[in-house]
């Protein structure tokens, strides 16, 4: 899985938290010291030490709070809100206690009268509760705004990728070579009096064109619907290459209603036919397997064509237009929560897709 986008996203979040923490506490200290600065009198060294320690502790505590908030965002909203409020209050109490202890130690050096620790703690508590509460609220709003912007950007990319996939699908449907080869296979079956097979192939071509025309590239479909499109295509190619293509589909019935982007499998199986079946003179097995690991769906498309190691580097790495489109659509639909892993070997070529497992909602009946 490519972890670079995830690393960049986390780095951006930590950079935002660090910048907000430093700016926030510098402003707090400036407000606290405004009266002393305006008076023009020299600031006692003890007060400078207190302010420096307050700044240091504030940066450390707020940095820890920022990291916790970014981790807690994965939780449901009620749990996240409760935990963030609890941690924020705990940090405010701890900082108020430390500040009270420092004030008791450094107070005499600053000309302050001696006061009990409990009184100093009560005086420090409310300001620190307000400071940390405001910081948590400001950071949470900023992170939410960034998440909304990222979601909007991914939606635009998804629509753009979907439109590109739709155009690619239409070009594929009207590809004269594909239609000519399929019609030529049907004609050959008719000439050899294999009318039943010719009729079956004609129906599969009709099914394939109907399914691809009716599919919405901007939407998700169930896995069984996506497989129907790929299976119709593979049935046609199996007739074009008799004795050279065998297809297996291994999927638990419970996963057939899982949601996947439309035309997700089509470029992958087309790539397998192009590089493994067309160039082979023996039977090639194309396997499609589906499995669930925790809350994720794993789709594996693998062939034993034995030519993957000899493919050009751009095909092995998935930079061809078909597999590049798959990567783009996965990223547009799911962002960093999906992965495309490609493996080339002497045995063949394998593509594994990992995406969030989302099941179709049951349709309401009248």
Provide DSSP, 261-293: ETTSSHHHHHHHIIIIITT-SS-EEEEEEEEEE
Rounded Cα distance, 280 and 282, in Å:
6
Angle at 365 between CA 359 and CA 366, to 5 degrees: 155
In three-state secondary structure terms, 340 is strand
Rounded Cα distance, 23 and 134, in Å:
13
Tokens of 307: 């030519």
User: According to the model, what pLDDT value does residue 363 have?
Assistant: 36
Per-residue model confidence as pLDDT tens digits over 42-53:
667 777 787 778
Q: What is the CA radius of gyration of the chain?
A: 31
User: According to the model, what pLDDT value does residue 114 have?
Assistant: 77
Cα 302 from chain centroid? 24
Per-residue model confidence as pLDDT tens digits over 258-289:
999 888 898 899 888 888 888 888 899 999 99
Give the helix ranges, DSSP H, for the chain: 4-39, 45-72, 77-106, 117-173, 176-191, 195-214, 223-240, 266-272, 313-316, 321-334
Per-residue model confidence as pLDDT tens digits over 69-91:
878 877 787 888 888 889 989 98
Rounded Cα distance, 343 and 94, in Å:
52
- DSSP strand pairing (284-293 vs 245-251): parallel
147: nearest Cα among 93, 40, 70? 70
**Phi, then psi, of 76 in degrees rounded to 5:** -60, 150
Per-residue model confidence as pLDDT tens digits over 290-345:
999 988 999 999 999 876 544 544 444 444 567 887 888 788 788 888 999 998 87
């Amino acid at each position: 899985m490519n972890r670079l986008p995830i690393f960049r996203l986390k780095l951006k979040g930590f950079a935002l938290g660090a910048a907000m923490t430093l700016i926030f506490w510098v402003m707090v200290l400036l407000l606290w010291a405004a009266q002393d600065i305006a008076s023009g009198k020299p600031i006692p060294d003890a007060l400078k030490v207190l302010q420096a320690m307050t700044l240091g502790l504030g940066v450390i505590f707020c940095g820890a709070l920022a990291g916790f908030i970014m981790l807690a965002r994965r939780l449901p909203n009620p749990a996240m809100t409760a935990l963030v409020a609890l941690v924020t209050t705990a940090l405010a109490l701890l900082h108020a206690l430390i500040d009270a202890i420092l004030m008791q130690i450094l107070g005499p050096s600053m000309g302050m009268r001696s006061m009990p620790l409990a009184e100093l703690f009560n005086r420090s508590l409310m300001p620190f509760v307000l400071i940390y509460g405001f910081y948590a609220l400001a950071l949470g709003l900023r992170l939410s705004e960034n998440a909304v912007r990222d979601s909007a950007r991914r939606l635009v990319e998804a629509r753009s990728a979907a439109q590109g996939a739709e155009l690619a699908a239409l070009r594929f449907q009207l590809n004269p070579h594909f239609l000519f080869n399929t019609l030529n296979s049907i004609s050959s079956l008719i000439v050899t009096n294999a009318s039943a097979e010719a009729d079956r192939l004609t129906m599969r071509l009709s099914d394939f064109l109907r399914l691809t025309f009716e599919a919405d590239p901007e939407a998700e479909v169930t896995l069984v619907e996506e497989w129907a499109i790929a299976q119709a295509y593979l049935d046609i190619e199996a007739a074009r290459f008799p004795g050279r293509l065998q297809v297996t589909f291994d999927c638990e019935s419970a996963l057939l209603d899982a949601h996947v982007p439309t035309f997700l499998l089509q470029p992958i199986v087309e790539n397998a036919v192009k590089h493994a079946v067309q160039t082979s003179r023996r039977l090639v097995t194309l396997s499609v397997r589906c499995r669930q690991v925790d809350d994720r769906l794993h789709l594996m498309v693998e062939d034993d064509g034995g030519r993957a190691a000899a493919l050009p580097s751009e095909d092995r790495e998935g930079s061809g237009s078909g597999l590049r489109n798959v990567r783009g659509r996965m990223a547009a639909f799911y962002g960093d929560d999906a992965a495309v892993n490609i493996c080339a070997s002497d045995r063949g070529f394998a593509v594994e897709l990992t995406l969030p497992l989302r099941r179709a909602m049951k349709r309401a009946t009248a």
